[in-house]
Amino acid sequence: MDPLYEALIYLKNKKYDKCIEHSSKILNKTPLDQAAWTLKMRAMTRKVQIDEMDIEAINGLGEYQESIWNDTIATAPRPGTSLRNPTRATTALRRPGTGSYGTMTARAVTAGRPRTSHTPATARASLATAQARALRLGTATIATNYGEVFIQVNRLNLTKYAQDKNVSKPLFEYLFYHEGDYRHAMELAVQATKAVKYVDWWWKVALAKCYSAFNLKRDAEQQLRSAVKQHRHVETYLRLARVCTQLDQPSTALDVCHEGINTFPADVQLMTEQARLFEAIGDMTQSVKIYRTIAIQDAMNIEAIACIAFHHFYNDQPEMALRYYRRVLAMGAYSAEVFNNVALCCMRAQYWDLTLTCYRRALLLATEVPIQADIWYNLSHLALGIGDVNLAVQCLRLCISYEPCHAAALNNLAGLEVEKGNKVVSKSLYAAAISADPTLTEAITNLKIVEEFDY
């Protein structure tokens, strides 16, 4: 079997190490074999490449704030037009900005919150064909020995490679994803855009990726809008919506999603982005409506099912929420967060025996310290529900031992100390809660009450 064809089969079957090994053997014999060089770049890129669209998913109401200056937007935007001022205030329960099967960790005084989301992978560039094997590069920069540095990036003539359609795109992905060299990747994208006379939408999206990496959101938006005019693609719409969200323009992002859905009807990725945006601005009714449509289109969409369950939980329908979370477990999404959510639903529905079992399973699966702290915090509510105050105090102390700045736990523990008559201890705990979270109004009010009345 031809070694190059064998390497292609390994790449297709996602056996990247084998593909890299066979490509390296070919390059040892013929160091200037362009096809093997490109194939090895593809394999090395795919091995480490992650979907940055998943990482950039909207998480809560405040992630966009890291990418803009506070003085670049109005201090009091109209309701529904900014992520700073959602339509419906949800701070009392610390509502999340996104839904997820993965989390619902109780950060508020009553229940929990999800943190991350899982979105389907977006489209990637197509694999270069083997027809380029006969081509030979006119420079020795690709000639490397097996085991050494694959590409000397500083020695590359990016202007020349940008004009080669068979090499330029794999080389960009290698520089961007594998090497993380955004400067050279952007330089290659600029040269390639000029080489194709600004008519290739792929390179405009590549430039937008680089601009986003350098936090140049306005430039990224300009490139993405130009790319959408030339070629309508789901990934382009998603990236443009994300950039508009990071610029605190949720209405514009919703318009982009609406335009994308009109072009690609019933596309799950665009509808998911639209639902997240409605949730971020506080319009939960519209968000849940879209999530229900997503669940009809894709019955295995965990995010949609979990968000519907989340909605039922906070609308005093724990039995309905429990049905949806059981569906999530049936699909194999075993995690501490899911069992924590199931336990919260069982606790609301007063299924005490099932609640203890789910919390026990959640503690066994929990690996992150914040999640462990939140589970112990939820267990304190269970202890209070069954009337065991001493157990509640122990659970809250365990929560604080995992996360000393857990404001809600400090506030509740102070309240229990007030019941015991420990005024000095309660005042210190209330002060610690306020220091951990100055926006926790319960702790501020309770501290004033303790200071005014002598228990």
pTM for the full model? Answer: 0.75
Nearest CA-CA partner of 393 in 409, 407, 405, 374: 409
Flag the least confident range among 85-99, 124-138, 276-290, 388-402: 124-138
Q: Are the CB atoms for 111 and 313 separated by under 8 Å?
A: yes
pLDDT of residue 51: 73
Better pLDDT: 132 or 226: 226
Domain ranges across the chain: 3-54+124-232, 380-455
**CA–CA distance, 158 with 182 (Å, rounded to integer):** 13
**What's the pLDDT band for 12 if we cut at 50, 70, 90?**
very high
Residue 127, pLDDT > 60, answer no
Secondary structure of the chain in the HEC alphabet?
A: CCHHHHHHHHHHCCCHHHHHHHHHHHHHHCCCEHHHHHHHHHHHHHHHCCCHHHHCCCCCCCHHHHHCCHHHCCCCCCCCCCCCCCCCCCCCCCCCCCCCCCCCECCCCCCCECCCCCCCCCCCCCCCCHHHHHCECCCCCCCCCCCCCCCCHHHCCHHHHHCCCCCHHHHHHHHHHHHCCHHHHHHHHHHHHHHCCCCCHHHHHHHHHHHHHCCCHHHHHHHHHHHHHHCCCHHHHHHHHHHHHHCCCHHHHHHHHHHHHHHCCCCHHHHHHHHHHHHHCCCHHHHHHHHHHHHHHCCCCHHHHHHHHHHHHCCCCHHHHHHHHHHHHHCCCCCHHHHHHHHHHHHHCCCHHHHHHHHHHHHHHCCCHHHHHHHHHHHHHHHHHCCCHHHHHHHHHHHHHHCCCCHHHHHHHHHHHHHHCCHHHHHHHHHHHHHHCCCCHHHHHHHHHHHHCCC
pLDDT digits (tens, 9 = 90+) for 138-163: 333 444 444 467 888 888 888 898 99
**CA–CA distance, 17 with 132 (Å, rounded to integer):** 22
What whole-number percentage of the chain has pLDDT above 90? 57
pLDDT of residue 387: 87
**What's the pLDDT band for 336 if we cut at 50, 70, 90?**
very high
Q: Is 126 exposed, middle or buried (0-12, 13-18, 19+ CB in 10 A)?
A: exposed
Q: Which tokens in the block code for residue 222?
A: 């300009």
Flag the least confident range among 65-79, 147-161, 293-307, 308-322: 65-79
pLDDT digits (tens, 9 = 90+) for 240-283: 999 999 999 999 999 999 999 999 998 999 999 999 999 999 89
Q: Are the CB atoms for 293 and 271 separated by under 8 Å?
A: yes
pLDDT of residue 77: 56
Better pLDDT: 128 or 261: 261
What whole-number percentage of the chain has pLDDT above 70? 78
Flag the least confident range among 111-125, 218-232, 262-276: 111-125
**What's the pLDDT band for 84 if we cut at 50, 70, 90?**
low
For the domain spanning 3-54+124-232, the CATH number is 1.25.40
Q: Fold identical between 3-54+124-232 and 380-455?
A: yes
Residues 349-358: contacts with CB under 8 Å, at least 24 apart: 349/318, 349/319, 349/322, 352/382, 352/385, 352/386, 355/382, 356/382
**What phi and psi values does residue 105 have, to the nearest 5 degrees?**
-85, 125
Better pLDDT: 268 or 112: 268
Residue 227, pLDDT > 60, answer yes
pLDDT of residue 57: 59
**CA–CA distance, 107 with 152 (Å, rounded to integer):** 49
pLDDT digits (tens, 9 = 90+) for 27-76: 888 888 888 899 999 999 999 887 777 665 544 334 444 443 344 444 55
Report, in angstroms and rounded to the nearest whole number, the Rg of the chain calculated over CA atoms.
Answer: 27
**What's the pLDDT band for 80 if we cut at 50, 70, 90?**
low
**CA–CA distance, 305 with 118 (Å, rounded to integer):** 12
pLDDT of residue 269: 93
**What's the pLDDT band for 3 if we cut at 50, 70, 90?**
confident
pLDDT of residue 76: 53
The residues, ordered by sequence, that sit 6+ positions from 184 with a Cβ below 8 Å of its Cβ are: 153, 156, 158, 175
pLDDT of residue 92: 32
Average pLDDT score over the chain: 80
**What's the pLDDT band for 332 if we cut at 50, 70, 90?**
confident
The residues, ordered by sequence, that sit 6+ positions from 72 with a Cβ below 8 Å of its Cβ are: none
pLDDT of residue 148: 60
**CA–CA distance, 5 with 354 (Å, rounded to integer):** 56
Q: What Å distances lie between residue 120 and 54, 204, 361, CA to CA?
A: 8, 22, 28
**CA–CA distance, 113 with 263 (Å, rounded to integer):** 34
Residue 107, pLDDT > 50, answer no
Residue 86, pLDDT > 70, answer no
Residue 97, pLDDT > 60, answer no
**CA–CA distance, 9 with 232 (Å, rounded to integer):** 31
The residues, ordered by sequence, that sit 6+ positions from 189 with a Cβ below 8 Å of its Cβ are: 172, 203, 206, 207, 210
pLDDT of residue 89: 37
- CATH architecture of the region 380-455: Alpha Horseshoe (1.25)
Q: Which tokens in the block code for residue 371?
A: 């999640």
